[in-house]
């Protein structure tokens, strides 16, 4: 089974793709979709949708985990991220891909066992959980891997 993890943003949206066979997990890919600064915001949203569609066509995931929107201070940034997240949710829904959502605290707790874990703690825990030779970098890519990993735990293969 193929699992997609997404950490949504506007300028950069992070993705991770895992394959689960029995209890074995294999990282197929993790990377970023970067949108170009200085272009119309609507064009950035179109790019996110198009790039996500390409990922879906390539890997054909059965399920996707995505981080819920969480912001405290910058409402304008939160609204932009919400719009990018809307494009992502729409694209997944039109493909019939199951969705699981996690708050940032759920991701930290589920991976590092601590609601208040910092990004380096999450990266180190992922290294151990996924049997990696080094910690996944950059840290936002690790967030997408963490989301995909948590989603894999919900699947019975």
Domains of the chain: 2-152 (3.30.420.10)
7 catalytic, yes or no? Answer: yes
In this prediction, residues 141-146 reach a mean pLDDT of 92
Residue range 98-138, pLDDT digits in tens: 999 999 999 999 999 988 899 899 999 999 999 999 988 88
Whole-prediction pTM value? 0.92
Active site residue 43: no
Q: Which of 19, 67, 80, 101 is catalytic?
A: 67
pLDDT at residue 76, rounded to an integer: 73
Please identify which of the residues 19, 80, 139, 140 carries the catalytic annotation.
140
Query: DSSP string spanning the chain?
Result: -EEEEEE--SSEEEEEEEEEETTEEEEEEEEEEEPPTTS-HHHHHHHHHHHHHHHHHHH--SEEEEEPP--SS-HHHHHHHHHHHHHHHHHHHHTT-EEEEE-HHHHHHHHHS-TT--HHHHHHHHHHHHT-SS--SSHHHHHHHHHHHHHHTT---
Q: Is 67 a catalytic residue?
A: yes
If phi > 0 it is left, if psi is from -120 to 50 it is alpha, else beta; for residue 24 that is beta
Model pLDDT, residue 136: 85
pLDDT at 157: 58
């Amino acid at each position: 089974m193929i699992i997609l993890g997404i950490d949504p943003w506007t300028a950069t949206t992070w993705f991770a793709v895992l394959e689960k066979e029995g209890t074995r997990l294999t990282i197929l890919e993790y990377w970023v979709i970067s949108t170009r600064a200085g272009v119309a915001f609507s064009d950035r949203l179109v790019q996110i949708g198009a790039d996500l569609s390409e990922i879906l066509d390539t890997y054909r995931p059965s399920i996707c985990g995505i981080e819920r929107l969480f912001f405290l201070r910058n409402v304008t940034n939160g609204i932009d991220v919400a719009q990018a997240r809307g494009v992502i949710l729409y694209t997944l829904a039109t493909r019939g891909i199951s969705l699981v959502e996690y708050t940032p605290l759920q991701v930290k707790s589920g991976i590092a066992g601590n609601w208040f874990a910092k990004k380096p703690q999450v990266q180190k825990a992922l290294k151990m959980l996924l049997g990696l030779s080094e910690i996944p970098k950059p840290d936002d890519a690790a967030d997408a891997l963490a989301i995909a990993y948590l989603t894999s735990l919900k699947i019975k293969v």
